[in-house]
A and B are shown apart, each in its own frame.
Chain A
């Protein structure tokens, strides 16, 4: 079963506008971690922001903020004041507890963002 769902395959956003990327997740664990990564065309995955399942405050990192709605199992990424350099693929990912391991990240299918002037 799909653990991470990103329903927006792609979207265009104008420079300086805000954009919200949707992410819903499926888990029966109480402890888990949610991550957002950015992948430019070069291929490298760049860490953007983290939200823990027990964190009461929404995470923020510069222009990135995470809208965490635990009851809805939703962890949407908000990018404020978009820049041309934000054009990339964005992935939502989750870590769940696995015996002897926390290392596995499960990724969604990603959302391609194109920022236009």
Chain B
């Protein structure tokens, strides 16, 4: 079956703009989580959605937001982009968020803010 699909793969934006990233989870998976990966901070949790509800949120400013649709697809939005938002954004899907359920990741969206 198809894996996790993230679009677009690459983005270049200028400071102050806003951006929307998309994640389509594996068919049947209802849990989607987002992570930001930078050389300096490593992998940091952004948020988690399950059945269209945000269940958990990481320590990021309000410029970072997300949502999940009824088909489990998820989007994240970053408004008023800053240079420090340049990162690889990874989406992970799980059948449901259990302790022993592995998360399957997409290939990520590489965002560059100039």
Q: Tell me the A residues contacting B by CB distance below 8 Å.
A: 31-33, 35, 37, 42-47, 50, 52, 91, 95, 97-98, 100-110
- Do B42 and A50 have beta carbons less than 8 Å apart? no
A100 to B100, CA, bound (A): 15
Task: Please give, as numbers and ranges, the residues of chain B lying within 8 Å of A52 by CB-CB distance.
Answer: 99-100
Q: Is B78 part of the binding interface, using a Cβ–Cβ cutoff of 8 Å?
A: no
Contact between A101 and B50, CB atoms less than 8 A apart: yes
Chain B, range 74-90, C-beta contacts under 8 Å to A: 88, 90
Are A106's CB and B100's CB within 8 A?
no
Q: Say how far B89's CB is from chain A's closest CB, in angstroms.
A: 10
B residues near A (Cβ < 8 Å) are 31, 33, 35, 42-43, 45, 48, 50, 55-56, 58, 88, 90, 92, 94, 97-108, 110
* Residue contact A102 to B45, C-beta cutoff 8 Å: no
**Are A105 and B45 also in contact (CB < 8 A) when A45-B105, A47-B104 are?**
yes
Asked if B100 and A33 sit within 8 Å, CB to CB, the answer is: yes
Q: Given A103-B48, A104-B56, 15 more contacts at CB 8 Å?
A: A31-B99, A35-B102, A44-B105, A44-B107, A44-B108, A45-B90, A47-B102, A47-B105, A50-B100, A98-B56, A100-B55, A100-B56, A103-B97, A105-B35, A109-B42
Contact of B42 among A46, A100, A104, A107 (CB under 8 A): A107
CB-nearest residue of chain A relative to B45?
Answer: A104
CA distance A106 to B33 in the complex (A): 12
B107 to chain A, nearest CB (A): 4
Say whether B55 contacts A103, CB under 8 Å.
yes
B50 touches A103 (CB 8 A): yes
Give the Cβ gap from A25 to chain B, nearest Cβ, in Å: 14
| With contact pairs A35-B102, A45-B90, A97-B99 given, residues A103 and B33 touching in the complex (Cβ less than 8 Å) | yes
